[in-house]
Amino acid sequence: MGKLLQNILSYGFGAAMLASSASAFADDTFDLLGQYETVEAMGSGWNLGNTLEANSNGTPNETVWGNPQASSALMKLIKNSGFNTIRIPVSYLSKIGSAPDYKIDAAWLSRVKEVVDMALAEDLYVITNIHGDGYHGVTGGWLLCDAQNQTEIKAKFKAVWQQIATTFKDYDEHLIFESMNEVFDGTYEWQNPGVPYPNAGYYQNINDYNQIFVETVRPISLNNAKRWLLIPGWNTDIDLTSEAKGFKIPEDKYVDRSTSGKRLMISVHYYAPWDLCGDDTDEGVTRWGDEAWRQNSSKCTTYGQGANSESTMSGQFDKLKSWFTSQGYPVVVGEYGTVDKTSYDAENSKYTAYWTKTLCENARRVGAVPVLWDNGHLSTAKGFATINRATNTVGRTYIVDAINEAFDQEIEIDTTAAKTKLELITSYIVNLSVDGAKENPIFKCQYSGWDEISKEISNTAKNVDVDLSPASKKDGFTNLGYLVYTNDSLYSVNINKITINGYEFTNPIVKKKLSAAQYNNALPNIWSGNDGEYLSDNGRAILSISANTISLMLKLDGESSSVEEVDAIAANIVPVDGGIAVLGAEGETVEVYSMLGTIVSKTVATDFVTSVKLHDGAYIVKVGNKTYRVIVR
């Protein structure tokens, strides 16, 4: 009998033995979101910390560490606060029975499932793991990479994941499994100077755990074969979760071959500098960032300016991009956060909010999902909490605001509605007539570089085409104004039709009217410096001015679209046929990154309109020092 068939049969036996009741979230459908789509959908996340991983002398107990039971109301608050993902840490410890079955207590596994279901009911992505079982400091901790009984440990680890993965075997892509949490030998490099670190043998055990995890979960069901699985390295440390230090990404040989790309994620944590982020007893370290160091370095980390610098943080995320996201592996920053030290320094909230926002911006930049650590304690006693679970309200609003601000500045442009074609105006013909002038009036058009085109019009002219096209087809209009004058102002100029780049405005609708001075013009004077939308043709085409430039936007797919839909653009980035256009960025560097972190396009904008050709997908667009999220469909 082949090895694969043996494995499948053994997993099938486990499935029969551990069959759970049907769930409202079991689904025959599974949306195979790719790497960047998944990161996009997961957004920012929050940890249900110190709850299902809480224990008393090795016995898991949901409320023993001072938090109330998880509730549907809490899940709703998390969703409404702007989070799209929740990480649910779970300890099993004494809830695991003896060898050889290592059966999980049914009531405990049922409670885990109940909490997961509550989160899924709010349309949250859910990460669940084996959390505290690998801690040396926890009574009953058994997932110890430095222990001698590795054969037993690995058999137990396999059995536990077999049961968890069976319980959730039919859940869709919103559920993600994380193999373990912060597993290492409990020592740090500084404790044993000169000794190779991490210990290679112990690291190999961690790699083995991850390989067992993947090979156990995948064959249990078709959905598990497609599911994203989250893989940590040594203590989830960024620098130590690298091939150079011994980390190995598991072989994913049982993944569903109908999937495209990889289906493994990498798990890391970020609490740097620790004396700011986690040491609640250090009253002096309350601020972070380059500006904080310049103003008062005595309130910043004792590890030095380098540890405090924003470039250090961005450098750590650059490693994640280089090692993982650019190679097709999404990254989940499964824990990050700062304790509350506002009782020591009223300015602490300002600087921890800035730290939080900067971290989230870096995560978005490299294609990672940041998941805030919250342990439920709203105080300086290890006060990582942001949510007040006793009242189901937001406690540290400045942290939530910082996260949302980091995500809000990335503006999604959904082009599923009618696409538009944005053009500089290179041809501009006005059909007009003049009534009542005693002399032949002059019609002037002001355009690129303040040059003018002047046209003399007979005072008896009717339906005359006046070609006001700019001399430079490359530049188009950067300024536009009308000036009609004569020695006698008692006349009217009638604009009958306007043809722009071959498109006829035969039924012009003035959307924003400017003063036409003393002249009775059917079309108002349009002068540079007055931004806005001026003319539309039943919503199918718009003549608009932005940053002293006039441009034409044409609807490409019929009459049904409204002006509002066309104008639903943000940050001067607009969807156009074949990609996007960035408006008003002259002199700025425009960079476009895929959600894998690889650069797609880089240019310096020399004109008002900078076009970038893009295929359908999600991108990060940097315009100068501003960052936006763009989806092209």
Q: Is 531 exposed, middle or buried (0-12, 13-18, 19+ CB in 10 A)?
A: middle
Spatial separation of the C-alpha atoms in residues 287 and 276, rounded to whole Å = 7
Is 335 one of the catalytic residues? yes
How many CA atoms, within 13 angstroms, populate the side-chain half-sphere of residue 365? 22
Rg for the chain, CA atoms, rounded: 31
Q: What SS3 string covers 376-393?
A: CCCCCCCCCCCEECCCCE
Spatial separation of the C-alpha atoms in residues 536 and 166, rounded to whole Å = 59
Amino acid identity for residue 56 in this structure: S
On whether the CB atoms of residues 224 and 165 are closer than 8 A, the answer is yes
* Residue 387, both tokens: 């949510």
Q: Which of 335, 361, 410, 591 is catalytic?
A: 335
In this structure, what is the dihedral angle of CA atoms 412, 415, 420, 424, given to the nearest 10 degrees? Answer: 30
Q: Which of 182, 533, 565, 588 is catalytic?
A: 182
* Residue 352, both tokens: 């921890």
Q: What SS3 string covers 535-601?
A: EECCCCEEEEEECCEEEEEEECCCCCCCHHHHCCCECCEEEECCEEEEECCCCCEEEEEECCCCEEE
On whether the CB atoms of residues 418 and 561 are closer than 8 A, the answer is yes
DSSP conformation class of 520:
E
* Residue 105, both tokens: 């207590």
CB atoms < 10 A from the CB of 541, how many? 22
Catalytic residue IDs: 182, 335
